[in-house]
Amino acid sequence: MKPLVLVLNGPNLNMLGTREPGQYGRETLADLAQRCAETAQAHGLEIEFRQTNHEGELIDWIHAARGRCDAIVINPGAWTHTSVAIRDALVASELPVIEVHLSNVHKREPFRHLSFVSSIAVGVICGLGSQGYRMALNHFAEMLREHAT
Ligand code: DQA
């Protein structure tokens, strides 16, 4: 059975393509999902790619991943900077997590420099656009292959 990685996206990321293209590029969420699916297939991973504008829904998905998925790639969007609840849910999932941001949050407003997720993540990738998601998937593919052998 292929390892299963949950790829989660937080609020406003459904607006990709039209939302602040200078910051986030012209790729839509569907384009991003497609690129992730291609990367996953190339690396023998199964992925579930999801987006929500509702914090509780994201938390429910993280809870449900425990024992069902092998890893989580998450772009929590603005909740990165506000949500202890999402951090706690990720810890409770007992899964390895990579935090991804399309933009380089450290080059932006000071309120984006704080992340409640970074200190519990395996790694953080920001500023590389959609490539960051693919790098995260590559990492998990390698890591999960090593675990399987
Ligand atoms: C973001 C950065 C966040 O600060 C912002 O609120 C987002 C997107 C990114 O991918 O660069 O919604 O997570």
Q: What letter would DSSP give residue 104?
A: -
Q: Is 139 an annotated catalytic residue?
A: no
Backbone phi, psi, residue 95, to 5°: -110, 150
Element (H, E) at 46: strand 46-51
Amino acid (one-letter) located at 67: G
Ligand 1 atom at shortest distance from the alpha carbon of 126: 11
CB of 117 closer than 6 angstroms to any ligand 1 atom: no
* Exposure of 63 in the CB half-sphere (CA atoms within 13 A): 7
Amino acid (one-letter) located at 23: Q
- Please give the Cα distance from 66 to 81 (Å, whole number): 23
Q: Give the residues across from 106 on adjacent strands.
A: none
Q: Is 101 an annotated catalytic residue?
A: yes
Give this prediction's pTM: 0.96
Tens of pLDDT, residue by residue, the chain (149 residues) = 899 999 999 999 999 999 889 889 899 999 999 999 999 999 999 999 999 999 999 999 999 999 999 999 999 999 999 999 999 999 999 999 999 999 999 999 999 999 999 999 999 999 999 999 999 999 999 999 887 76
Query: Which of 63, 81, 101, 106 is labelled catalytic?
Result: 101
